[in-house]
Amino acid sequence: MKLVSERIRIGKERPTEVTQVMVGCALTFAVTAERFPQVCRIIGSVEGANVNGASGHAAIVRRRTRRPVGEIGCQLKGASQLAQAAIARHEGRIANVERQVVPMIKTIAGFDRIGEENAFAVLARAAELTPHFEAKGMDVINLGIGQPDFPTPEHIVEAAVKALRDGHHGYTPATGILPLREAVAQRTLDTTGVEVSPERVCIMPGGKVTMFAAILMMGEPGAEICYPDPGFPIYRSMIEFTGATPVPIPVREENGFAFSGEEALSLVNDKTRLIILNSPANPTGGVTPRAEIAKLVAGLEAFPNAVIMSDEIYDVMTYNDVEHVSLLQFPEIRDRLIVLNGWSKTWAMTGWRMGWSIWPDALFENVRKLAVNAWSCVNAPSQYAGIAAIEGPQDAVTDMMTAFDRRRKLVVERANTLPGVSCATPKGAFYAFPNISGTGRKAKELASELLEQQGVATIGGPDFGILGEGYIRLSYANSEDNISRALDRIATHLEG
């Protein structure tokens, strides 16, 4: 099926600053930004038209009709008549009409459901706003993105450089080079006391890929997948992509932002294919205690077909001797347990795209085949850097955690002085999740205002799930000076 797309410039002169107005998803006006509101009013006044989003620099104009949207006649004739009526009534001048035929492409339904991680959108918007604030003598302070602000330790970088110079330029095994998988297995033994075979370790291009693989294996229409809410947004996004039903496991402030084993178990049934857990947790900084995990594990004996994926990417990031409990420490579920971990947070390697996962024997061949089909292997020099990270000195990790602890205390102390705000002390990761319900503001609205008006990037709680309303996420992966200045600006905004 084809659509005819028209591009019309309104006015005699070619506009230098162009804004697009799409009519019927088939006709595009190109107008100057100054004339944009006028054009939206013009088109919106035409009988049978709806204008959406006209307050910004883009507007979608749809003709009300009972005819199918995908029908060529409706798209072309309806849109053209609508545009011609608007222009004839108010302008009468048309220049530079361009007409082209474009394919009407249809993807699978999953892509209509897939979401994204808003932290990247906030990061991009912060970059766009930087020149605006610099012109006013200000900077943009990013408390939104979840990545350490420290460089990758030098010995890790040098290991990658050496690997390149030594000629490690080709493919590796799809699941990763054996020395790296052995290093991961040894680290797992050192940190959890559990021995795992390197043959169950898969080196992944980032942590998200383990989520993708596990959810893709288990998710389909009719299946249910449990996940933490508030939680990392990609969990729900990928669940919905597969057509499975997402079932949120509440992560409540009154429980110290830990999940309740009893409540989680009440959500599991014979349709449950996968249960996703995350501790220490993003976005809350909560750490679930051993007793709650033990309750859940004991109850899962009644559901032997439910697979568990434990996201332990923040495993070393706990404070005040709070215990991180790995699900590997429960032998009764190891034959159906997937553990997600990686290098991004612990060694400040977010851009290296390096993760690892530990799989049960029954699923390992599936992930190996997926690797062969999807990414072939992780790039070779990064894998040698991964060995250096695990086996080399850990001083940089210790220093980073010491800095995070100072910042954590600063964020909590300052956030609790903000009007209408209360902030629980995070026990892990590098996020605080202050409760803003006392301000009377919607979380995403407040987060947007803080960025657009104060130059402070944060993430609204609803970006992490339906239970995130009333909270914003503050990443303290930034300097103490920047954190203090950001909280000064937040205070000014809330007091204004």
The answer to the question of residue 158 being in a domain is no
The answer to the question of residue 155 being in a domain is no
What pLDDT does residue 34 have? 53
pLDDT digits (tens, 9 = 90+) for 336-379: 999 999 999 999 999 999 999 999 999 999 999 999 999 999 99
Q: What is the CATH number of the domain that holds 423?
A: 3.90.1150.10
What pLDDT does residue 99 have? 46
- 3-class SS of residue 126: helix
314 with 455, same domain: the answer is no
- CA atoms of 329 and 294, how far apart (whole Å): 10
Domain end residue (candidates: 334, 356, 391):
391
What pLDDT does residue 496 have? 82
The answer to the question of residue 227 being in a domain is yes
- Full-model pTM: 0.81
Domain boundaries, position 463: 112-150+395-495
315 with 370, same domain: the answer is yes
Number of domains in the chain: 3
- 3-class SS of residue 486: helix
What pLDDT does residue 88 have? 42
- CA atoms of 262 and 266, how far apart (whole Å): 6
Cis omega (within 30 of 0) for bond into 280 = yes
249 with 215, same domain: the answer is yes
319 with 299, same domain: the answer is yes
- CA atoms of 371 and 376, how far apart (whole Å): 5
Q: What is the mean pLDDT of each run of 10 residues along the chain (496 residues)?
A: 38 38 42 51 45 37 33 34 44 42 80 91 94 96 94 98 98 98 98 98 98 98 98 97 98 97 98 98 98 98 98 98 98 98 98 98 98 98 98 98 98 98 98 98 97 97 96 97 98 94
- The tokens for 224 are 């249910």
pLDDT digits (tens, 9 = 90+) for 426-451: 999 999 999 999 999 999 999 999 99
480 with 436, same domain: the answer is yes
The answer to the question of residue 232 being in a domain is yes
90 with 132, same domain: the answer is no
Within its chain, how far is the Cα of 332 from the centroid? 32
